[in-house]
């Protein structure tokens, strides 16, 4: 609304529990002032500022007519407020209904005179069983600064269909004015400075007041334990400010996971693009695979697919010569096979081929890979083939 802030006097003592049904009045305890949001907050179930020019949100007793009407604010001619033209019994007005699922309060502005009898409360049905948390008439010893606006609120039940109910109890008509009536998330009751409320608001209606809610506009979140801007409910690592998501569910946060979408990998120690778990050489960026299991990386292995036969077989003939490690990732069978390939390409006939292989076997013997007797076995197998 458009009115400026007015400070309520310390003598303000508005009444809780006044009723035309004989309820005993109880005095409000004022609470700390908190600003009311100008915009309709998330979780607002009912809002009326009487600027629409109609009372379509309101009905009379038993759904019939009522005595409410919109009039000019005596403190601000540009502002419109609510008044009643009849007193108790025949002029009750009901707005709603609402059914809060979390704690809500009715907040409203009230302006009364020395002879005002305005009451506002809630009703189960229209009218139904009802309570009057606020009454401003002198018959209940209410004292307020004449002609000054004040903002108050009171709690309403949860899980029950409830109407906001207004009545002009006595002492003339049209002199008890209401404005800015809304049902919003919150707790507590009392009155405070005009334009304020008696409790901290709960904008998102999650049961956590805004002052204690790290996400006051998000009903799914209220805390951010690690202060990373991600609510605890949606943070996979609520106590780690460096992480909030684990896309592959491997227990390693995406920020620290070298493979955030691969649940089998999370680190790449040598930075070669192959995860440590699948890298045969996790600290060597030049190697990642060892296809033949000889501890020599494929990239540096002259025979990455080594012949791991226990003996050297030449041309289908098992020579019986043991094929052990010949160094540099090769077996004796690898070297013999390579010799066969080389000599076959250069030999014009079988005799030339046998002679070429005899040279290969002599090299093996000179290098200490085979004995003279083993050379003979290899040579014999070649001569037969």
Top mean pLDDT of 168-172, 185-189, 227-231 is at: 227-231
List Cα–Cα distances, 127 to 48, 90, 118, 312, in angstroms. Answer: 20, 12, 17, 104
Q: Identify the pLDDT of residue 265.
A: 97
Q: What is the pLDDT of residue 81?
A: 95
Collapsed DSSP state (helix, strand, coil) of residue 61: helix
* This prediction's pTM: 0.48
**Residue written as token pair 């629409």:** 52
Count of H helices and E strands in the chain?
A: 3, 20
Residues 147-170 have pLDDT tens digits of 788 888 899 999 989 999 988 776
> Where in the chain are the domains?
15-212, 311-384
Query: 352 φ, ψ to 5°?
Result: -65, -35
Q: 190-219: per-residue pLDDT in tens?
A: 777 665 544 556 778 787 878 789 998 899
d(CA 1, CA 191): 18
pLDDT at 290: 95
Q: Which residue has the tokens 């604010």?
A: 73
- In CATH terms, 15-212 corresponds, of 2.60.120.260, 2.40.160.20, 1.20.1420.20, 3.40.50.1820, to 2.60.120.260
User: Can you tell me the distance from the alpha carbon of 301 to that of 12, in angstroms, rounded to the nearest whole number?
Assistant: 93
- Going by the DSSP 8-state scheme, the letter that residue 85 receives in this structure is S
In the chain, pLDDT over 70 holds for what percent of residues? 79
Task: State the pLDDT at residue 128.
Answer: 66
The region, left, alpha or beta by phi > 0 then psi within -120 to 50, assigned to residue 236 is: alpha
């Amino acid at each position: 609304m458009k009115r400026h802030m007015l400070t309520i006097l310390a003598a303000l003592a508005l009444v809780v529990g006044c009723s035309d049904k004989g309820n005993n009045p109880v005095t409000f305890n004022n609470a700390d002032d908190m600003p009311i949001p100008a915009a309709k907050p998330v979780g607002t179930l009912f809002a009326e500022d009487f600027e629409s020019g109609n009372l379509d949100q309101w009905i009379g007793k038993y759904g019939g007519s009522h005595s409410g009407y919109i009039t000019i604010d005596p403190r601000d001619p540009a502002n419109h407020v609510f008044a009643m033209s009849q007193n108790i019994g025949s002029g009750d007005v009901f707005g709603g209904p609402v059914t809060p699922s979390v704690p809500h309060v009715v907040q409203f502005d009230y302006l009364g005179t020395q002879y005002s009898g305005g009451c506002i409360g809630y009703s189960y049905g229209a009218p139904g069983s009802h309570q009057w948390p606020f009454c401003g008439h002198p018959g209940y010893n209410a004292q307020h600064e004449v002609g000054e606006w004040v903002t108050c609120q009171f709690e309403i039940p949860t899980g029950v269909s409830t109407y906001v109910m207004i009545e002009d109890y006595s002492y003339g008509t049209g002199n008890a004015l209401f404005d800015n009536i809304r049902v919003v998330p919150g707790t507590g009751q009392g009155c405070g400075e005009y334009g304020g409320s008696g409790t901290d608001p709960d904008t998102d209606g999650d049961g956590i007041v805004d002052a204690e809610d790290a996400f006051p506009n998000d009903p799914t979140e209220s805390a951010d334990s690690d202060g990373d801007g991600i609510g605890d409910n949606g943070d996979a690592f609520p106590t780690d400010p460096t992480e909030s998501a684990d896309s592959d569910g491997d227990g390693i946060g995406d920020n620290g996971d070298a493979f955030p979408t691969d649940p089998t990998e999370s680190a790449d120690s040598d930075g070669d693009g192959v995860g440590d778990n699948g890298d045969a050489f996790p600290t060597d960026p030049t190697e990642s695979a060892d296809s033949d299991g000889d501890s020599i990386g494929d990239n540096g292995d002259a025979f990455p697919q080594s012949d791991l036969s226990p003996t050297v077989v030449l041309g289908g003939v098992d020579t019986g010569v043991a094929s052990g490690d010949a160094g540099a990732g090769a077996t004796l069978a690898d070297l013999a096979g390579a010799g066969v390939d080389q000599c076959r390409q250069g030999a014009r006939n079988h005799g030339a081929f046998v002679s070429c292989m005899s040279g290969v076997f002599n090299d093996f013997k000179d290098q200490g890979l085979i004995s003279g007797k083993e050379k003979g076995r290899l040579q014999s197998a070649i001569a037969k083939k």
